[in-house]
């Protein structure tokens, strides 16, 4: 990386037909760490329109391996459904697995959770903060896709704050409390009490 190389760079795009609809996949790189991220766009919009977006952090276990320990896979599916139903929208899929600690550390954290730690205590026991994610590339991705105003699908106020601090114009929030299972209720309760996530308490009883 030379001093002239931008930190974040758009690399290429291609059609991506999915079970939910025909998306386009846009590939980006973070030159500071070599990390590769993608955006999926659906439909067309006016640059001043409010575009529904989901900013989703990688969860191999939930997104690809059908885990019910978390709500990630359910949210990913619901976000794609919502976007297609709306007629246009964007999914930013960030490769920051395990809230930024990586896959193997997430498995270590799961091992601790199997022994009774909660999701925050497990991270801390391993020497990490509860949430190490960095959303900086999102602004570049949205600018590249001509998205200036967003309706964000999330339950996480910290994500909203981080994106706002980056200059993303968040017009509204759409809750995405989908995928509550007996296997993930304790995890989601901890996210509510310790990480500030917004869930209807009745849904987590
Ligand atoms: N360290 C750790 N990471 C986890 C655990 N369970 C899920 N994750 C990760 O948590 C992240 C969840 O990301 P998101 O679904 O984008 O966001 P969120 O912070 O839950 O907020 P929402 O937008 O409301 O879904 C993913 O990177 C998962 O891999 C866990 O027990 N420990």
Residue nearest to atom 12 of ligand 1 (CA): 57
> Looking at the domain assignment, is residue 53 inside a domain?
yes
DSSP bridge pairs for 22: 17
Beta bridge partners of 12: 27
Query: Is 32 contained in some domain?
Result: yes
Beta strands at 149-153 and 50-57: parallel, antiparallel or unpaired: parallel
Ligand 1 contact via 41 beta carbon (within 6 Å)? no
Residue 200 has pLDDT above 80, yes or no: no
In a domain, 103, yes or no: no
The answer, yes or no, to whether any atom of ligand 1 lies below 6 A from the CB of 101, is: yes
CB of residue 56 inside a 6 A radius of ligand 1: yes
**Per-residue pLDDT, 3:** 65
Domain-located, residue 88: yes
Q: Tell how far the Cα of 119 is from the centroid of ligand 1, in angstroms.
A: 10
Does the pLDDT of residue 1 top 70, yes or no?
no
Domain assignment present for 28: yes
Q: Is 69 among the annotated ligand-binding positions? A: no
Does the CB atom of residue 131 touch ligand 1 within 6 A?
no
ipTM reported for the complex surpasses 0.95: yes
| pLDDT value for 186 | 87
Q: Starting at the earlier edge strand, list the strands of the sheet with 50-57.
A: 8-17, 22-30, 35-42, 89-94, 50-57, 149-153, 169-174
For 161-180, the pLDDT digits (tens) are 999 999 999 999 999 988 88
pLDDT tens, position by position, 52-106 = 999 999 999 999 999 999 999 999 999 999 999 999 999 999 999 999 999 999 9
* CATH code for the domain of 22: 3.40.50.10990
- Whether ligand 1 lies within 6 angstroms of the CB of 190 is answered as no
Q: Is 34 among the domain residues? A: yes
Q: Which residue segment(s) compose the domain that 41 sits in?
A: 8-96+133-196
Chain segment 136-151, per-residue pLDDT in tens: 999 999 999 999 999 9
Residue 105 lies in a domain: no
Examine residue 112 and state whether it is found in any structural domain, yes or no.
no
**Is residue 97 marked as binding?**
yes
Predicted structure pTM score:
0.96
Centre of ligand 1 from the C-alpha of residue 125, in Å: 17
Residues labelled catalytic = 131, 133
Of 192, 138, 202, 200, the residue nearest 170 (C-alpha):
138
Place of tokens 């999102």: 138
70-88 CB burial, b ≥16 within 10 A, e <16: bbbbbbbebbbebbbeeeb
Q: What is the pLDDT of residue 48?
A: 95
99 is in an annotated binding site: yes
Domain count, the chain: 1
Q: For ligand 1, what atom is nearest to the CA of residue 153?
A: 23
């Amino acid at each position: 990386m030379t001093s002239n190389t931008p930190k974040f760079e758009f690399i290429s795009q291609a059609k991506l037909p999915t079970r939910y609809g025909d998306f386009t996949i846009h590939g980006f790189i973070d030159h500071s760490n070599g990390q590769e991220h993608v955006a999926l766009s659906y439909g067309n919009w006016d640059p001043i329109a409010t575009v529904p977006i989901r900013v989703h952090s990688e969860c191999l276990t939930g997104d690809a391996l059908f885990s019910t320990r978390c709500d990630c896979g359910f949210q990913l599916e619901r976000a794609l459904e919502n976007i297609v139903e709306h007629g246009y929208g964007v999914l930013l899929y960030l490769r920051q697995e395990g809230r930024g600690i990586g896959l193997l550390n997430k498995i270590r954290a799961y091992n601790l959770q199997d022994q009774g730690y909660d999701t925050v205590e497990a991270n801390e026991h391993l020497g990490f903060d509860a949430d190490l994610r960095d959303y900086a590339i999102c602004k570049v991705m949205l600018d590249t896709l001509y998205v200036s105003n967003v309706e964000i699908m999330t339950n996480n106020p910290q994500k909203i704050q981080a994106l706002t601090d980056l200059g993303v114009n968040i017009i509204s929030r759409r809750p995405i409390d989908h995928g509550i299972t007996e296997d993930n209720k304790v995890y989601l309760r901890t996210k509510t009490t310790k990480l500030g996530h917004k869930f209807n308490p009745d849904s987590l009883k």
